Chains A and B, each alone.
Chain A
Amino acid sequence: MQLTIKYFGLLAEFTKCNEEQIEFSGMIINDLLEIIYLKYPKLKETDFQLAQNQVIVSNETEISGTEIALLPPFAGG
């Protein structure tokens, strides 16, 4: 299936895009992360949280949606 992956903040700088389509055939978020880490090894060293169809989920969550967002914490004020 085709997934839309959205990147926020620092992550979008590593991926050089705010969003992209990824062809995915795995089961859970962790499977998807493996693909993303292969593509962008730098993301491995960065903390972020994931959302599936705009709902924050854990890495073990089964992928049932079409949009996955990767959200890092921001410190600035």
Chain B
Amino acid sequence: MSRYNRHIVLSEIGKKGQDKLTKAKVLVIGAGGLSCPVLQYLTAAGVGTIGIVDFDVVEESNLQRQVLFGTSSLGINKAIAAKERLMDLNNTITINAYSKKLTHKNALELFKNFDIIVDGTDNFATRYLINDASLITNKPLVYGAIYKFEGQVAVFNYKNGPSYRCLFPNPPKEGTIPNCSEIGVLGVLPGIIGSMQANEVIKIILGLGDILSGKMLCYNALTTQTTTLLITKSKTEINKALSKKESFQKTTEELNCAFSPPDSYREEISIEDAIKKKNIQFIDVREFDELPKLEALNPIYIPLSEFENNLDKIDPEKEKMIFCQTGIRSKSAASILQKHNINNSYCIKEGALEILDYITQMHKKY
């Protein structure tokens, strides 16, 4: 077929390589800025089966960077509009448009039908969902993300390599990282980053070159600088994600919202049980002026606002009992410890007042 001639004449690809492309099945999630070039190049290269997931419709403000769409696509679902354009580019392949939202409920079934997953989404909740579902179904994940003039590319879960959670264990705090619709993005940037993702997908299919696994490439469009950072595999993070396998489909999207405290953190303990333990350290994460003080517990004082910078004050050998005024800040502190792989920490269910009541009663008893 003359369509693929320029690939076939490359000795590194040839007819054999082209057959591999024809047999490959790639799922692209999101049909926005990053996914447009991914879809375009995979379709042009003759990747045999391509899935596109997007629930959103094409808006005029998308056209500045989402190059698969034109004014005739406005108001049409993105997965369907993309499929229409791509079928014109290459009608010899199979394209499945899924005009729905990717959820915990449908992700695993969907992923099973593909060899490679591409993340072209625009929010943390879906990115963590994709990472965990790729891990559980054992599929390589080609990741791309952008911010204004900068982009990140990486391949995760490739031949048991590191996952996204090995780099960023939990989603960032609410509202700390804005997205493209809030702050804008250079139109050509997703074109560059998405093309790099397409390149990684094709290399994985063909078994060519060095895969960007265990590394994150950072690109700055203003300085044209690239930096590649090495990521170490964290078995703890991977096992934590894999352990959610059984409950995965039952996870509701609200619970897994990017901005709620990580739901993996549920190590709670009552003050009654906490006191019974040996070799413990109480940590008061309230601000210094908050009362009542609980001297009887001999706690160390690290306010939540300064918690992350004072982890060295915490004895790693002891079991850590974290408390605050109501039991909310202690959970945030506990997830910080978890993020830094500091284990054996518990949140005390009760707030400071209830704890004081309990201690006072204990003293009366004895």
Cβ-based interface call for B146 (8 A):
yes
Q: Which residues of chain B are within 8 angstroms of A60 by Cβ–Cβ distance?
A: 311-312, 340
Q: Which of B237-260 contact A (CB under 8 A)?
A: 258
Which of the candidate stretches B82-90, B148-156, B270-278, B318-326 sits at the interface with the other chain? B148-156
Given contacts A9-B147, A30-B311, contact A76 B231 (CB under 8 A): no
Given contacts A54-B228, A56-B167, contact A73 B172 (CB under 8 A): yes
Question: What is the distance, in angstroms, from B366's C-beta to the closest C-beta of chain A?
Answer: 40
Contact of B127 with A58 in the complex, beta carbons under 8 Å: no
Question: What is the distance, in angstroms, from B279's C-beta to the closest C-beta of chain A?
Answer: 21
Q: Which residues of chain B are within 8 angstroms of A3 by Cβ–Cβ distance?
A: none
Q: Which residues of chain B are within 8 angstroms of A18 by Cβ–Cβ distance?
A: 220, 223
Dominant secondary structure at the B interface: mixed
> Which of B176, B185, B220, B230 sits near A76, CB closer than 8 Å?
B185
Interface string of A1-34 (1 = CB under 8 A from B): 0000010111000000010000000001010011
Q: Which residues of chain B are within 8 angstroms of A34 by Cβ–Cβ distance?
A: 309
The total of Cβ contacts below 8 Å across the A-B interface reads 109
Given contacts A73-B145, A73-B177, A77-B30, contact A9 B150 (CB under 8 A): yes
Identify the closest chain B residue to A58 (Cβ). Answer: B340
**How many A residues touch the partner, as a band?**
20 to 34
Contact of A54 with B230 in the complex, beta carbons under 8 Å: yes
Cβ-based interface call for A66 (8 A):
no
Identify the closest chain A residue to B152 (Cβ). Answer: A74
Identify the closest chain A residue to B194 (Cβ). Answer: A77
Q: Which of B143-173 contact A (CB under 8 A)?
A: 144-148, 150-152, 167-168, 171-173
Question: What is the distance, in angstroms, from B351's C-beta to the closest C-beta of chain A?
Answer: 24
**Residue among A10, A33, A54, A77 with max Cβ neighbours from chain B (10 Å):** A77
Contact of B185 with A58 in the complex, beta carbons under 8 Å: no
Contact of A54 with B122 in the complex, beta carbons under 8 Å: no
Cβ-based interface call for A64 (8 A):
no
Q: Which residues of chain A are within 8 angstroms of B151 by Cβ–Cβ distance?
A: 74
Given contacts A18-B220, A55-B230, A58-B340, contact A74 B146 (CB under 8 A): yes
A-B pairs, 4 with minimum CB distance:
A47-B172, A74-B145, A77-B122, A76-B180
Knowing that A18-B220, A71-B216, A71-B218 are A-B contacts, what are 13 other residue pairs whose CB atoms are under 8 Å apart, sorted by A's residue number? A44-B309, A51-B229, A56-B232, A60-B311, A60-B340, A72-B172, A73-B168, A74-B177, A75-B127, A75-B177, A76-B179, A77-B30, A77-B33
Q: List 26 A-B contacts (CB under 8 A).
A: A8-B150, A9-B177, A10-B177, A30-B309, A45-B173, A47-B168, A47-B173, A49-B167, A56-B231, A59-B308, A59-B311, A69-B227, A72-B177, A73-B172, A73-B177, A74-B147, A74-B152, A75-B127, A75-B258, A76-B122, A76-B145, A76-B147, A76-B180, A77-B34, A77-B121, A77-B122
